[in-house]
Amino acid sequence: MDWAPIRMTYHVRTYAFGERLIPDMLGKQGVPEGVVAETWEISDQKDARATITNGPFAGRLLHDVVAEHPDEIVGAGWRGPHFPILDKFLDASHLLPVHLHADDETARVMHGEPNGKTEAWHILYAAPDATILAGIRPGFSHDDLRQAFLDQDYDRVMFRYPIAAGDTVYVPGGILHAFGPDTLIFEVQQTSDLGQSVMPTDLHGNRLSDEQWRANIDATLAELNTDYLPKPNPGLDKPLRDPDSRITVGCAGPYFVLERWRLRAPYHDPADPWRFLTLSNVGDPATIAWSGGEETLGRAESVLLPAAIGEVTVSPTGESADLIACYLPDLVRDIVEPLRAANHSEEAIRALGEVSL
């Protein structure tokens, strides 16, 4: 089979924290009227599985095609219950709920799910007062935390950091977090929708009963991890032959890598049968060329480049292209070695997420 870029439907979430930043600021076309809090660009989550819209698999679920062709789509030797990452645009016009997602062990033991949800946020836009809440300050018992959550005094027990466009925040499963307001992000995560919140309202802004609120707080405390403190990170540049282009590694860990590609010349991504690549365009239209053809990726569009596609060339159609690339890494080959070659310190490489040196 001649493999080509795979396009798919996206799923819209209308949570109360969102407004219209995704169509109005990012420029995404075809979204419905009203709140567009999230668009799930690449998704095999069981409640929101994407349908492929082009090529020989048009009309079929991404899930089914991945199950039939795991080596060719995800990478040689890969096996799993679903496509391993979920990409989304997220509008935090209002503060997100203070919440966490299960880690892998919690997902398996407490929820009967194959994996948890480590995630990362790449900041596309943030107002001057935008911040994140991430991680628990040391020295607090569960009773202390419970009371702080009931008082809705999150700063008493959590760290708060300012954020700016270009920052990336890596958030492992089990870490309590929130961000906003007036923030637009790209998020990559493990394929999961498990979550626990300490807020008195649900995701659609409906007030919970006191009994349900307290039960949610207790469930959150049962899944809480405190062994990682997320912080905004401007990322590290990889070495490139073209001095006018930049590839910045925003985060890295065992589940995914997120890179920002700012290209002013064609970039050749070599054939790599061990990994797929997702591309989400946050700038002007870009051209994707491979041995079987060429097509344009428009603003705020996303595409999956299967592992078997071979060498791909991504080019600006105008002066520059601006894309976000995600993939499952070989951390040594894809991250540690090139960043060491660019003379980045061991400490800076470790700060990208969960990178062992």
Q: Output the DSSP codes for 44-59.
A: EETTEE-BB-SGGGTT
**Per-residue pLDDT tens digits for 135-178:** 999 999 999 999 999 999 999 999 999 999 999 999 999 999 99
- Do 163 and 232 meet the contact criterion of CB atoms below 8 Å apart? yes
> Cα dihedral sign for 25, 160, 145, 251?
positive
Task: State the Rg of the chain over Cα.
Answer: 20
What's the predicted TM-score (pTM) here?
Answer: 0.97
What is the pLDDT, as a whole number, of residue 241? 87
**Per-residue pLDDT tens digits for 61-111:** 999 999 999 999 999 999 999 999 999 999 999 999 999 999 999 999 999
**Per-residue pLDDT tens digits for 189-236:** 999 999 999 999 999 999 999 999 999 999 999 999 999 999 999 999
Q: Which two tokens stand for residue 21?
A: 């930043």
> Cα dihedral sign for 122, 128, 132, 136?
positive
pLDDT-based confidence at 357, cuts 50/70/90? Answer: confident
pLDDT-based confidence at 341, cuts 50/70/90? Answer: very high
Nearest alpha-carbon partner for 186 in 99, 254, 62, 282: 282
What is the pLDDT, as a whole number, of residue 163? 98
What is the pLDDT, as a whole number, of residue 1? 85
Go through 136-164 and write b for each residue having 16 or more CB atoms within 10 A of its CB, e for each that does not: beeebeeeebbebbeeeebeebbbebebe
Q: Which two tokens stand for residue 318?
A: 């105008």
What are the structural domains, with CATH classification, of the chain?
11-223 (2.60.120.10), 236-350 (2.60.120.10)
